[in-house]
Chains A and B, each alone.
Chain A
Amino acid sequence: MHEPVTFHFDVDGENFSSAGEASVIIKKKLRQLGFSPDIIRRVSIAMYEGEINMVIHANGGAADVTVMDEYIEIVLSDKGPGIPDVELAMREGFSTARENIRALGFGAGMGLPNMKKYTDYMKIDTEVGVGTKITMRVNTTG
């Protein structure tokens, strides 16, 4: 067992063109740590989708990535509107993104399903009007 390494990112809600920057940095960090391409890709896609979600729905938030012995944990937390019906939100193609955001190619309703698909564990803590915290893990052993 050794000390986990943590990375913290503030995800700027104002700026669409910079959305996804944190996942690019994480990709580089995980490469430097020598993780396999498959693990890097899964973490980076899950994180990218999460970042985009926070920009679209919650005016930004924070992303914390912790590299531990057995898994990489991604925690995305925001003070956005919360998700009223998590089960519905998890459905592929379901989206509450506004038309102007869809016009940018986002909001296809694949964000949460992709996050689930690419990670080994995902937990959503959300409260309407308070915010959302999503915890995801990608196993690095076995």
Chain B
Amino acid sequence: MKNYQHSVSLDVAKCKGCTTCLRRCPTEAIRIRDGHAVIHSERCIDCGECIRQCSYKAKKATHDGLDKLNNFRYRIALPAPALYGQFDNMDNIGYIIAGLHAMGFDKVYEVARAAEMVSAYTRMYLRRKDIKKPVISSACPVITRMISMNFPFLCDNIIPLLPPIEVAADLARKEAMAEHPELASEDIGVFFISPCPAKVSYVKNGFAGEKNNVDHVLSVRDVYFVLIEKMKQIEEPAESTEAGMIGIGWASCGGEASAVFNEHYLAADGIENCIRVLEQIDNENIPTLDYVELNACSGGCVGGVMTVANPYIAQARLQSLKRYLPVSPNSPVKDEIPESAFAEGMVQYNPYNLLSDDRMEAMRMMADIENICTELPGLDCGSCGAPTCMAFAEDIVKGETNADECVVNMRMLFHDFLEKRRNGNSGDAVPLEKWMRMRKDTENAEGKTDGGNV
């Protein structure tokens, strides 16, 4: 987990060190240090919330550029179903497929097709008697990472099948190899057109720690601007979608869950809501449920930060696009899903934020944290660079910051100081800086005797 590569990055020059992202990060992964945001890699779940919230556009999703197409003789596009909802006044998905060909892709394999296969498999899987319920979808990489970090008992609720992107990549590559025996595997480039940075991390790091079949991840936004120009030049597309209502439905919240054809399902969107649902499942405080679909982004994948359109407008467009499509033209039985897409135990518990490997030391630190917290104002203002007073106390005890960063407490001290001067104690008045240093020294001395006082 140490070398986990993230796909959220920061443009330091643009970051003002404001506290917007800090306070919206669901895993408290961000701190403000030296006037700009810093992301703690081991806590980040790539949800993209900080990118969405940043007022200065300093947070960026890292993904591959279109120039990567030049590295391969044969290029395969894997459009996420969310891409289909980005275009206004478009009544035929064939335009997108034809446009992708015009952009230089030799083959287009719709992820929505693989999504239908995953749905078909899920329906069979849910009928098994030997599984732990509720079964949780593996589709959103933010959710699976969240579970691996915080919910050890839910790891084996996740369906042991890789998400549609992986199934699509595997099948598309095999098809291409069969159609073009002259191609070597490295001649083929598989490009996923993604609505979110989490899928970028997913591809960089692999899912079960193994290399996956996607070579590069492009953003829906980058593709959109090139693609729309190509689409304008197409009179009547020769191609048409091979996906149906179910596959396209995966783009928005509820689409995936309703495809299990079982009324005992739950679909939630927005990372905070998803965390609350996971907490309740963990506490066994839920109704009888067979299947749980969780989308870190509001609205589902259409809400990803690498999209162009408003997620709810995209969803409305998808509703009319899929209206006259068949329900699920891609519903093969299990053996058509590549064997490599099945992975038992693919999500493992990886706890984070451990205070110390030594329990005694951890207990001592925890006691200090609780103590310090009682001295803090409890405003959770973020001015110290930590998202909450509690997180600030943790940072102090871990030695990552010091108590003087609390502007509220500092202001009170400053006020005290001025008060003392005004009341004629000025005989022994010392310059502010020196006074603060003295105060700190006394505090440090007190701190030594205070240690075990709980």
Which chain A residue shows the least CB distance to B364?
Answer: A2
| A interface residue count range (under 10 / 10 to 19 / 20 to 34 / 35 or more) | 20 to 34
Q: Give the residues in chain A near B394, CB-CB below 8 Å.
A: 32
In the complex, whether B362 has a CB less than 8 A from a CB of chain A is yes
Q: How far is the CB of A79 from chain B (nearest CB, A)?
A: 25
DSSP majority for the A interface?
helix
Q: How far is the CB of B161 from chain A (nearest CB, A)?
A: 24
Question: Does A2 contact B360, Cβ atoms closer than 8 Å?
Answer: yes
Q: Give the residues in chain B near A105, CB-CB below 8 Å.
A: 285, 287
How far, in whole Å, are A28 and B150 apart by their CA atoms in the complex? 8
A68-81 to B contact mask, C-beta < 8 Å, 1/0? 00000000000000
In the complex, whether B153 has a CB less than 8 A from a CB of chain A is yes
In the complex, whether B415 has a CB less than 8 A from a CB of chain A is no
8 Å CB interface, A24-39 against B: 24, 27-29, 31-34, 37
Q: Of A41-49, A91-99, A128-136, which binds chain B?
A: A41-49
8 Å CB interface, B271-285 against A: 279-280, 282-285
Q: Give the residues in chain B near A32, CB-CB below 8 Å.
A: 353-355, 362, 366, 394
Question: Does A3 contact B452, Cβ atoms closer than 8 Å?
Answer: yes
Which chain A residue shows the least CB distance to B149?
Answer: A31
**Which of A4, A23, A24, A114 is the one whose CB lies under 8 Å from B454?**
A4
Question: Does A5 contact B366, Cβ atoms closer than 8 Å?
Answer: yes
8 Å CB interface, A47-85 against B: 48, 52, 67
Q: How far is the CB of B369 from chain A (nearest CB, A)?
A: 9
Question: Does A41 contact B351, Cβ atoms closer than 8 Å?
Answer: no
Give the tally of cross-chain contacts (CB within 8 A). 68
In the complex, whether A6 has a CB less than 8 A from a CB of chain B is yes
Q: How far is the CB of B28 from chain A (nearest CB, A)?
A: 10
Q: Give the residues in chain B near A44, CB-CB below 8 Å.
A: 282-283
Which chain A residue shows the least CB distance to B453?
Answer: A3
8 Å CB interface, B409-454 against A: 452, 454
How far, in whole Å, are A41 and B38 apart by their CA atoms in the complex? 32
Q: How far is the CB of B416 from chain A (nearest CB, A)?
A: 29
In the complex, whether B370 has a CB less than 8 A from a CB of chain A is yes
Question: Does B356 contact A34, Cβ atoms closer than 8 Å?
Answer: yes
Q: Known contacts A34-B359, A37-B349; is A23 also within 8 Å of B452 by CB?
A: no
How far, in whole Å, are A107 and B356 apart by their CA atoms in the complex? 39
8 Å CB interface, A14-29 against B: 20, 23-24, 27-29
8 Å CB interface, B367-403 against A: 367, 370, 394
**Which of A7, A27, A48 is the one whose CB lies under 8 Å from B370?**
A7
Please provide the 10 A-B residue pairs with the shortest distance between their CB atoms, ordered closest to farther: A37-B152, A48-B283, A33-B362, A5-B366, A32-B355, A5-B367, A3-B454, A34-B354, A5-B363, A3-B452
Task: List residues of chain B with CB under 8 Å of any chain A CB.
Answer: 150, 152-153, 279-280, 282-285, 287, 349, 351, 353-357, 359-360, 362-364, 366-367, 370, 394, 452, 454
12 contacts between A and B (CB under 8 A): A3-B363, A3-B367, A3-B454, A6-B370, A20-B280, A31-B353, A34-B354, A34-B362, A37-B349, A41-B153, A52-B285, A67-B363
Known: A5-B370, A34-B356. 14 other contacts (CB 8 A): A3-B364, A3-B454, A5-B366, A5-B367, A20-B285, A23-B283, A28-B353, A29-B366, A33-B362, A37-B153, A40-B152, A41-B153, A44-B282, A67-B363
Task: List residues of chain A with CB under 8 Å of any chain B CB.
Answer: 2-7, 20, 23-24, 27-29, 31-34, 37, 40-41, 44-45, 48, 52, 67, 105, 114
